[in-house]
Amino acid sequence: MALDTVAIAAGEPDAEQPWRELGLKADEYARIREILGRRPTSSELAMYSVMWSEHCSYKSSKVHLKQFGEKAPHSDALLVGIGENAGVVDIGQGYAVTFKIESHNHPSFVEPYQGAATGVGGIVRDILTMGARPIAVMDPLRFGLADAPDTRRVLPGIVAGVGGYGNCLGLPNIGGEVVFDETYAGNPLVNALCVGVMRHEDIKLATAHGTGNFVVLFGAKTGGDGIGGVSVLASETFASGKAAKRPSVQVGDPFAEKVLIECSLEIFAEDLVIGIQDLGGAGLSCATSELASAGSGGMSIQLEKVPLRDPSLSPEEILMSESQERMCAIIEPAKLSRFMKICKKWDVTATVIGEVTDGKHLQITFNSELIVDVPPRTVAHDGPVYNRPIAKPGYLDSLVPTSLPTLDTQDAIKAELLALIASPNIADKSWVTDQYDRYVQGNSVLSQPEDSGMVRIDEETHLGVAISTDANARWSYLDPYNGAKLALLESCRNIATTGAKPLAVTNCLNFGSPEDPGVMWQFAETVRGLADICLEMGLPVTGGNVSFYNQTGAVAILPTPVIAVLGVIQDVRTRTKMGIPSAGLQLIQIGNTDDNFSGSEWAHLHGQLGDHAPTPDVGTEIRLTQLLLEAQPLFESAHDLSDGGLAAALAEATLRNNIGATIGLPGEFIPGGVAAALFAETPGRVLVSVDPVNVSALEALASKYEIPLHTLGSSGGDALVINHAAIPLSELRTAHTETLPKLFG
């Protein structure tokens, strides 16, 4: 079938087009026709349909996300904000750090290994594109119930994919989460975070300017993978006789990405690029339209020059292909030969596919026929914006308070504690994390299961960064506004607990369908909460990612805003670990416990949800952060109390170095008695071990910051003893470590 050119489109204005099959709405298609003053060519239709999709255009979320700009706190640290491939913050000493988290949920359900692998690959290229050397990754993962059959299909593949790709890139995996909940059955969440470092002067942006500069595509050749919905168009345009069955999930080649990283870093070091963009979702359509619209607007591309893995690809497919491990750079003619030489050194294919022009249009030709002629901004940025209906969901009116047992006997304490730490959400995650390389690069100061992941940036000055990702989706389900706030506060606390100062925030907002007013209400409340808490905490949001349509039929996932906080630590040698290091230390709980079990793991274990999330106390949290940072030299260990409460924290802190503890929890310790003391998940609490000689100094600081302390007991022995209920560490370890290997082999 003939090529659909601009001339043909102008001459045949009424030709039928498969806009509906490509996911466009009637008014969206009409708008494209209005922009162009004619019907789009099939290539243009393909570009608009992908770039105006929810995934690329944020059309349902935009109206809410603008609060991050409106409520942005003043920050001297922010060097590059929302809108670029990733935000960049100043961490001092001339270093800049970029970090970002993205979802790859749907592909990972369809094809767990490749979906997860290319999720890692995509986020790493986003970081690289900023001019940074990627230095670590983290992967918050969420699955259906641990013993559900589909979880056994999905989880091993996703974990192997994260490891298989990340390990091969030489990026230490320093943390993340593994959470099970039935709402994620059919909708596993694979969120991938990457952090990178550069010098301030090396920051690169996605822009194309300078008439006559070359557009160079480098990296892997373009194939037919990841074309997804656009194959509808391909089959419309090119009727029969070609291989139709291609994977809609991209296939990753981590080795190609590794050499692309080294090659790009060498190119950056010689300052050879004007602008750069990676090819991710929507492939070349996205890269060319975004580069052009961020520059002067004019760009011409000769599409037949794109090196192909599959020579049968149509122009539409070349534009849409999401083949991995590709980058697009804008290069001055004088620097091209040096650029090509470096690519050759690394055996990376590089091809000039076009140039920056002085016009205002992105023009794409295929064998000299004009097939795309569009104002690039209309593709990249002027997509539709929806103010979707919002309604508070009905389930919030029928929530039931928790009704949980009191723990009156030693046997009850022991049985409940062992059951909790063996439950899949609290159990030891080594089965997962031991499949990831946490050592490579030799700068991992802290990694899972520590409270935050921490990486050394400078060997001479000992400067480092810490990152933590957190979400409590059940709290978000009960109260999305406060749930988002609590997730951010927990993430900050995790950072401060290890000795780093919180500096900046990014997020990955995973939700059900935006067409469901209840889901949209959860989303709107979440963004409002997150924007408010960032302002209150004085932390800039550097970027984020929204993933909608995580639902099976009418059942949406729990609203899951995953919050990542980046912190900076001046001397990584001073970091605090979570394991109790020796006997004879005093164990102290910082912060008060209350008797709200709603959303807690212990309630979940008893099949209950409860009726209200905690109300965050931001003033206290800010003072707690200050206390943690100032008192850090006094701590022998520190561990944030969150999922599983004090019980889980004690188990983890004692098992880490096999040092037992003896704890006494007085009945009047808190309302709710021993059960609440052990299992409530009241925010704003930290378990620390302190040398007895330092206790008075800690008390003085705590009183200065008006933060309560509670002496719990002391370390030592080979059992965890709580109110005379003794659990040998060996028994505790067995319960904690057996769960995941038993489930997943």
Partner 1 sequence: MRIGVVTFPGSLDDSSALRAIRLAGGTPVPLFHASDDLKEVEAVVLPGGFSYGDYLRCGAISRFAPIMSSIIVAAEHGFPVLGICNGFQILCESHLLPGALTRNQGLHFVCTDQALTIENTATPWTSGYTTGQRLVIPIKNGEGSFQASSTTLAELESEGRVVLRYADKNPNGSKNDIAGIANTRGNVVGVMPHPEQAIETLTGPSTDGLTFFTSILQSMVGR
Which positions lie near partner 1, rule CB under 8 A?
Answer: 160, 163-164, 167-170, 253-256, 258-259, 262, 345-347, 433-445, 456, 459, 572-573
User: Angle between the 62-70 and 517-537 helix axes, to the nearest 10 degrees?
Assistant: 10
Nearer to partner 1, 174 or 284 (CB): 174
Taking the least distance from each CB to partner 1, the nearer of 164 and 599 is 164
Is 636 in contact with 579 (CB distance < 8 Å)?
no
CA separation for the pair 657, 329 (Å, rounded): 49
- Report the nearest approach of partner 1 to the CB of residue 655 (Å): 15
User: Cis bond leading into 449, ω under 30°?
Assistant: yes
Q: Catalytic: 104?
A: yes
In the three-class reduction of DSSP (H, G, I as helix; E, B as strand; rest coil), residue 634 is classed as helix
**Greatest alpha-carbon span in the chain:** 88
Residues 6+ apart with CB under 8 A from 607: none
The single residue of 104, 604, 639, 736 carrying the catalytic annotation is 104
* Separation CA 75–CA 18 (nearest Å): 47
- Residue closer to partner 1, measured from CB, 114 or 402: 114
DSSP code for 397: G
- Residue 654 near residue 732 (C-beta atoms within 8 A): yes
Whole-number Å distance between alpha carbons of 58 and 205: 21
CB of 691 to partner 1, least distance (A): 19
- Give the separation between CA 485 and CA 178, rounded to whole angstroms: 21
Q: Which is nearer to partner 1, 308 or 440 (CB)?
A: 440
Residues 512, 506: contact at Cβ < 8 Å?
no
Distance of alpha carbon 445 from alpha carbon 461, whole angstroms:
14
Give the nearest distance from C-beta 174 to partner 1 in angstroms: 11
**Can you name the residues that pair with 364 across neighbouring β-strands?**
301, 372
Measured from the CB atom, the residue of 347 and 397 that comes closer to partner 1 is 347
The minimum distance between CB 168 and partner 1, in angstroms, equals 5
Strand partners for 215: 330, 354
- Closest to 380 in 3D by CA, of 316, 313, 315, 299: 299
Residue tagged active-site, from 55, 604, 639, 710: 55
Q: Which amino acid is at 172?
A: P
**Closer residue to partner 1 in complex, CB, 455/638:** 455
Report the residue number, 204 or 577, with the smaller CB distance to partner 1: 577
Minimum distance of partner 1 from residue 431's CB (angstroms): 9
Burial degree of 35 (CB within 10 A; 0-12, 13-18, 19+)? middle
Long-range contacts of 334-341 (CB under 8 A, 24+ apart): 335/272, 336/214, 336/216, 338/270, 338/272, 339/216, 339/267, 339/272, 339/273
Tell me the C-alpha distance between 740 and 745, whole Å.
8
Catalytic positions are 55, 104
